[in-house]
Amino acid sequence: VLQNLSQTPVLRELLKEAKMPGTTVKIESPELCMLCCFSFKQEPQLIKLDQPGPLTLAMHQFVTEMQEPKKGVVTPKELFAQVCKKAIRFKGYQQQDSHELLRYLLDGMRAEE
Protein backbone atom coordinates (compact mmCIF):
# COMPACT_ATOMS: atom_id res chain seq x y z
CA VAL A 1 0.00 0.00 0.00
CA LEU A 2 2.75 2.46 0.96
CA GLN A 3 4.81 1.67 -2.13
CA ASN A 4 1.79 2.29 -4.34
CA LEU A 5 0.97 5.56 -2.59
CA SER A 6 4.57 6.73 -2.92
CA GLN A 7 4.28 6.26 -6.71
CA THR A 8 1.08 8.30 -7.02
CA PRO A 9 2.10 11.59 -8.69
CA VAL A 10 -0.88 13.64 -7.49
CA LEU A 11 -0.34 12.56 -3.88
CA ARG A 12 3.41 13.28 -4.08
CA GLU A 13 2.75 16.79 -5.37
CA LEU A 14 0.08 17.49 -2.75
CA LEU A 15 2.35 16.31 0.05
CA LYS A 16 5.14 18.51 -1.27
CA GLU A 17 2.78 21.50 -1.26
CA ALA A 18 1.37 20.57 2.16
CA LYS A 19 4.77 21.30 3.73
CA MET A 20 4.14 25.00 3.07
CA PRO A 21 1.12 26.13 5.13
CA GLY A 22 -1.14 28.73 3.59
CA THR A 23 -0.44 27.53 0.06
CA THR A 24 -3.27 27.22 -2.41
CA VAL A 25 -2.96 24.25 -4.73
CA LYS A 26 -4.75 23.59 -7.99
CA ILE A 27 -5.76 20.00 -8.55
CA GLU A 28 -6.36 18.90 -12.10
CA SER A 29 -6.82 15.32 -13.11
CA PRO A 30 -5.70 14.72 -16.70
CA GLU A 31 -7.41 11.34 -16.75
CA LEU A 32 -10.66 12.87 -15.56
CA CYS A 33 -10.40 15.67 -18.12
CA MET A 34 -9.83 13.16 -20.93
CA LEU A 35 -12.97 11.28 -19.94
CA CYS A 36 -15.02 14.46 -19.68
CA CYS A 37 -13.76 16.41 -22.68
CA PHE A 38 -16.53 15.11 -24.89
CA SER A 39 -19.35 16.18 -22.59
CA PHE A 40 -18.14 19.08 -20.41
CA LYS A 41 -14.97 20.74 -19.22
CA GLN A 42 -13.78 19.65 -15.76
CA GLU A 43 -12.74 22.70 -13.74
CA PRO A 44 -9.65 22.34 -11.51
CA GLN A 45 -10.18 22.43 -7.76
CA LEU A 46 -8.44 25.10 -5.68
CA ILE A 47 -7.64 24.07 -2.12
CA LYS A 48 -6.03 26.26 0.55
CA LEU A 49 -3.79 24.20 2.80
CA ASP A 50 -3.43 24.80 6.52
CA GLN A 51 -0.55 23.72 8.75
CA PRO A 52 0.03 20.01 8.09
CA GLY A 53 -0.54 17.60 10.97
CA PRO A 54 1.92 15.00 12.25
CA LEU A 55 0.50 12.16 10.14
CA THR A 56 0.67 14.25 6.97
CA LEU A 57 4.24 15.31 7.77
CA ALA A 58 5.24 11.68 8.42
CA MET A 59 3.68 10.64 5.10
CA HIS A 60 5.58 13.43 3.32
CA GLN A 61 8.83 12.29 4.91
CA PHE A 62 8.20 8.68 3.89
CA VAL A 63 7.30 9.54 0.29
CA THR A 64 10.36 11.81 0.02
CA GLU A 65 12.63 9.02 1.27
CA MET A 66 11.06 6.56 -1.18
CA GLN A 67 11.86 8.92 -4.07
CA GLU A 68 15.56 9.27 -3.18
CA PRO A 69 17.42 7.33 -5.88
CA LYS A 70 20.34 6.15 -3.72
CA LYS A 71 18.36 5.50 -0.57
CA GLY A 72 18.69 1.93 0.66
CA VAL A 73 15.98 0.33 2.76
CA VAL A 74 13.22 2.74 3.77
CA THR A 75 11.54 2.02 7.10
CA PRO A 76 8.22 3.77 7.73
CA LYS A 77 8.71 3.89 11.54
CA GLU A 78 7.49 7.44 12.08
CA LEU A 79 4.58 7.01 9.68
CA PHE A 80 3.54 3.79 11.42
CA ALA A 81 3.80 5.49 14.83
CA GLN A 82 1.49 8.28 13.62
CA VAL A 83 -0.99 5.77 12.16
CA CYS A 84 -1.01 3.94 15.51
CA LYS A 85 -1.90 7.20 17.29
CA LYS A 86 -4.93 7.59 15.02
CA ALA A 87 -5.91 3.90 14.99
CA ILE A 88 -4.77 1.99 18.07
CA ARG A 89 -5.73 -1.32 16.46
CA PHE A 90 -2.36 -1.22 14.64
CA LYS A 91 -0.36 -1.17 17.89
CA GLY A 92 1.15 -4.51 18.83
CA TYR A 93 2.25 -5.42 15.29
CA GLN A 94 -0.54 -7.92 14.74
CA GLN A 95 -1.48 -8.74 11.17
CA GLN A 96 -3.92 -6.27 9.61
CA ASP A 97 -5.48 -6.03 6.17
CA SER A 98 -3.76 -3.62 3.81
CA HIS A 99 -7.03 -1.94 2.87
CA GLU A 100 -7.56 -1.09 6.57
CA LEU A 101 -4.16 0.59 6.69
CA LEU A 102 -4.99 2.53 3.54
CA ARG A 103 -8.33 3.64 4.96
CA TYR A 104 -6.93 4.74 8.33
CA LEU A 105 -3.96 6.48 6.72
CA LEU A 106 -6.01 8.48 4.22
CA ASP A 107 -8.82 9.20 6.70
CA GLY A 108 -6.26 10.31 9.27
CA MET A 109 -4.57 12.71 6.85
CA ARG A 110 -7.95 14.01 5.73
CA ALA A 111 -8.97 14.66 9.36
CA GLU A 112 -5.85 16.81 9.76
CA GLU A 113 -7.00 19.20 7.01
Residues 25-79: tens digit of each pLDDT: 666 665 544 445 555 556 777 767 777 889 999 999 999 999 888 878 888 999 9
List the chain domain ranges: 1-21+51-111
Q: How many CB atoms lie within 10 A of CB 82?
A: 24
pTM of the model: 0.73
The total number of residues written for the chain in this structure? 113
Mean pLDDT in residue range 3-21: 83
Q: Is there a contact between 29 and 44 (Cβ–Cβ < 8 Å)?
A: no
Helix axes 98-111, 54-67, angle to 10 degrees: 120
Distance CA 42, CA 103 (A): 27
pLDDT number for residue 97: 82
pLDDT number for residue 50: 72
